[in-house]
Structure 1
Amino acid sequence: MRRVGYDGSGGSTMTVKRVPTPAGDLAWLVTDYDQVKSLLADRRLGRSHPDPANAPRFTDSAILGKPNQGTMEEEYEAHAWMRRSLAPSFSARHMESMRPRVRQLVDGLLDELVKQDQPANFHEAVAFPLPVLVICELLGVPFEDRARFREWSEAASLINDEQKSLAGLGQLFAYMGQLVERRKAEPGDDVISRLIESSSAGQEEKIAQLSAGLLFAGHETTVAAIDRGVMLLSLNPGQWDSLRKDPSGISDAVEEILRLPAPTKAQVNEAGLPRYALADLDVDGVHIPAGDLVMLGIEQANHDEERFPEPAVFARRESNPHLTFGFGPRFCVGAPLARVELTEVFLALTTRFDTFELAVGIDELSPREDQLVGGVMDLPVRWKVRAETGRQLLT
């Protein structure tokens, strides 16, 4: 019997089907948890294409919108170089060593937040600056340049304006290229300097492109996740009360925040992580020819009822093997850092405040529907400061 996936409205859908992409081209959408997990690690899927100019488009964004240039072998080599180069800087051990600094940054941002009149914009006060501060320190990017690369990142992430997206990505690449040259002359204790030191001459452009990708992914996705967590806990006060009484459940709550989509979405989208078939393959009885676009439905897989009972419910789960960070050789290199940041944010919120909630209804928020990563424009919140924090109990 063919298994079914979740369609976001309580119904079921075939696990492999032909659907239009956000750009309007056709692709195969895979939604079953086991199939998505298997395909995430399948070397027959990748980002390259034998005829990039005529390949199906995912979006009109310069990021993930079209296939990469180059052959399958070149893609594997580039990916292996990236993983090898970043492994020391992004290891779980190294990210754990950054926890005290992340905690310090969170506390400082919340100190400033509580000085503001209520309601205050949590998105601008905490959710955006925290990941930016962390990734800037990690990479060696000046924090004072954040307004510039924020503008370029948002332009690059546009899914419906190819020219603006290309221009934003180009400016981001150019900025990182200049920074690489500065780090060559004046190295520091940062990822870019270490990449330069460990690479052979002539790889500056490669390092700049990798660094631009890290800067983009290192803040955009985590900003959206922090905002999403505040929304979910505000809509689930029982979970908030449970965490406030027993902060040991924070890690489980973070995994659930990572699994669930933003509550601003009406339903799980009929889209997914774009990959191109590098060879003919059969998925759940469906033949997919080489060159076709395949969308791996991460959100749909994370709602698979067989893997996650009552998938739409925010709950403390004994097992939460979500696929938000991927699986296999392409598992997100920044996952340990994101988990540290999210854990510290929600630990601080639940130990520092008696109440912390949205100041408006979900339907009053403005989703960033034109952005690849999604998220919201603003997040008005209100709070009641706890008389005594429970943080000392956890240190």
Structure 2
Amino acid sequence: MTDLPVIPFDRSDPLDVPAAYRELRHKERIARVRTRAGDEVWLVSGYEDARALFADGRMGRSHPKPEEAARISGSALLGGPQGDFETEKADHERMRKLFVRSFSARRMKALSEHVGGLVDGLLDELTTRTPPVDLHKEFSFPLPVYVICELLGVPFDDRDYFSEVSTRMGSMDEAVGMAAREEMGRYMARLIDAKRHDPGEDVLSDLVDVVDDDGTIAQLAGGLLFAGHETTVNRIDYGVLLLLHFPEQLAMLKADPGLAPAAVEEILRMGSPGLHGIPRYAREDVEIAGVTIKAGEAVVLTTNAANRDETAFDHPDLFDLHRSQDNPHLGFGHGAHFCVGASLARVELTAVFERLFQRLPDLRLAVPFEELPMNEGRLTGGLKELPVSWSTAPR
């Protein structure tokens, strides 16, 4: 077939999810589409179907013949299969036990107050500046970097280096992304080795006795460093944009900063910096929604579209601080692969949105929305800059 729809669909507004996902879902709950890499895959954009396949043990990230597997994109991180087909489940369980311990409730609770102090400090500095100011550079970026450095035990002085490597890791050019991923793995392996002689209360110190010969754990730690700041930076930026776009909801948050956790959940549900989707490969035939996904075939779970599914969320394109949480969003995935860093992201985002508009209640964009510069050709998408201004005296 040469007339298959090509994903990801184009959009004109970075706050929207293309209507083409919803239109196609109305025709076919699970549809055959083509990726921009040129391969045919199954597109899953409905909430219940995505949730079911996230939790289905017959779906995985590996493929028995990875060189023959359909590719989603050129991304070295999410463009195609990863892992060993024979040992994927055991490997995942081992790694998850290791990293879940590192993101324990105790550690996150201890971190919460400290993150609030970091937010206050950045806002203190921000309010000494004369607007307009690039909020992305001065606030959205440094906060997650501070936090992930402290949590992992990465030297903050290395931030420019690993940020540059992270940028290359997120490239949609596979060769560029793979080289950067390997470089990040080597960097993390060196840091883990250094922790043998100078351990601390951090994740890398937790890994000292479990580093493997093939560098897998160091590479996973590098992935945590990438995800731990890249995705949260985007969520802060997009949270600001969404709240400015829905002023009545913003007014409620200003009046009651206790609504910050609810705002965070809506930001995680609606914020869509990138539209790449999450790949899965069927380990055996899977029947769902009237179609058979055959063993070895690729599926793209589009969580951003699923989080706007009108059968799961009333008025899904509206930002609503009082939205029912009966259907939790899929921003962190679901099931066995639920993001281990979810609690960390919530701690950071809650601290931000409890404080940002209290300190800068008149915060606004300093350029027209349409002129905001976007990142192109990167897995995580997002903004290059977020110029903002304010006119009232900050509190």
- Give the TM-score taking structure 2 as reference length: 0.90
Measured in 1, the distance between the counterparts of 2:279 and 2:171 equals 16
* Residue 172, structure 1, aligned to residue 184, structure 2: yes
Q: Name the residue aligned to 1:133.
A: 146
**Which one of the candidate residues 302, 316, 320 is aligned to 1:311?**
316
| Kept in 2: contact 1:196–1:204 (CA 8 A) | no
Report the Cα offset of residue 34 of structure 1.
Answer: 0.8
* Residue 110, structure 1, aligned to residue 120, structure 2: no
**Which one of the candidate residues 368, 372, 376 is aligned to 1:369?**
376
How many pairs does the alignment contain? Answer: 374
Measured in 1, the distance between the counterparts of 2:122 and 2:216 equals 34
The residue identity in structure 2 corresponding to 1:183 is K
Measured in 2, the distance between the counterparts of 1:342 and 1:386 equals 24
| Kept in 1: contact 2:24–2:31 (CA 8 A) | no
| Kept in 2: contact 1:259–1:324 (CA 8 A) | yes
For residues 197-276 of structure 1, the aligned pairs below 5 Å read 197=209, 199=210, 202=212, 205-262=215-272, 269=275, 272-276=277-281
Q: Name the residue aligned to 1:295.
A: 300
Q: What is the SS of the residue equivalent to 1:18?
A: strand
Measured in 1, the distance between the counterparts of 2:346 and 2:171 equals 26
The residue identity in structure 1 corresponding to 2:256 is D
Q: Name the residue aligned to 1:40.
A: 54
Q: What is the SS of the residue equivalent to 1:196?
A: coil
Measured in 2, the distance between the counterparts of 1:122 and 1:333 equals 27
Report the Cα offset of residue 174 of structure 1.
Answer: 1.3
Q: 1:202 to 1:40 in 2, by over 3 A?
A: closer
For residues 50-129 of structure 1, the aligned pairs below 5 Å read 50-72=64-86, 74-129=87-142
Structure 1: tracts of 5 or more residues without a match: 1-5, 389-395
For residues 318-357 of structure 1, the aligned pairs below 5 Å read 318-319=324-325, 321-357=328-364
Q: Name the residue aligned to 2:19.
A: 8
Q: 1:342 to 1:385 in 2, by over 3 A?
A: farther
Measured in 1, the distance between the counterparts of 2:233 and 2:156 equals 16
Measured in 1, the distance between the counterparts of 2:166 and 2:314 equals 37
* Residue 279, structure 1, aligned to residue 284, structure 2: yes
Q: Name the residue aligned to 2:39.
A: 25
Measured in 2, the distance between the counterparts of 1:84 and 1:69 equals 17
**Which one of the candidate residues 183, 191, 197 is aligned to 1:185?**
197
| Kept in 2: contact 1:305–1:311 (CA 8 A) | yes
Report the Cα offset of residue 383 of structure 1.
Answer: 2.1
| Kept in 2: contact 1:176–1:208 (CA 8 A) | yes
Q: What is the SS of the residue equivalent to 1:354?
A: coil
Measured in 2, the distance between the counterparts of 1:242 and 1:67 equals 44
| Kept in 2: contact 1:196–1:207 (CA 8 A) | no
Report the Cα offset of residue 12 of structure 1.
Answer: 5.4
Measured in 1, the distance between the counterparts of 2:234 and 2:23 equals 27
Measured in 2, the distance between the counterparts of 1:43 and 1:12 equals 26
Measured in 1, the distance between the counterparts of 2:351 and 2:218 equals 30
Report the Cα offset of residue 177 of structure 1.
Answer: 1.4
Report the Cα offset of residue 355 of structure 1.
Answer: 1.4
Q: Name the residue aligned to 2:366.
A: 359
Report the Cα offset of residue 92 of structure 1.
Answer: 3.1
Q: 1:251 to 1:31 in 2, by over 3 A?
A: same
Measured in 1, the distance between the counterparts of 2:161 and 2:244 equals 32
Measured in 1, the distance between the counterparts of 2:316 and 2:58 equals 30
Higher deviation after alignment, 338-347 or 57-66? 57-66
Q: What is the SS of the residue equivalent to 2:234?
A: helix
The residue identity in structure 2 corresponding to 1:223 is V
Report the Cα offset of residue 360 of structure 1.
Answer: 1.6
The residue identity in structure 2 corresponding to 1:70 is D
Q: 1:117 to 1:45 in 2, by over 3 A?
A: same
Measured in 2, the distance between the counterparts of 1:330 and 1:87 equals 11
Measured in 2, the distance between the counterparts of 1:202 and 1:369 equals 35
Q: Name the residue aligned to 1:3.
A: none
Q: What is the SS of the residue equivalent to 1:220?
A: helix
The residue identity in structure 2 corresponding to 1:135 is I
| Kept in 1: contact 2:238–2:267 (CA 8 A) | yes
Q: 1:113 to 1:290 in 2, by over 3 A?
A: same
Measured in 1, the distance between the counterparts of 2:75 and 2:45 equals 23
The residue identity in structure 1 corresponding to 2:254 is R
Q: CA offsets, 1:69-121, max 9 Å, x none?
A: 4124x111111111111222212342122111101111111111112221100
Q: Name the residue aligned to 2:4.
A: none
Structure 2: tracts of 5 or more residues without a match: 1-16
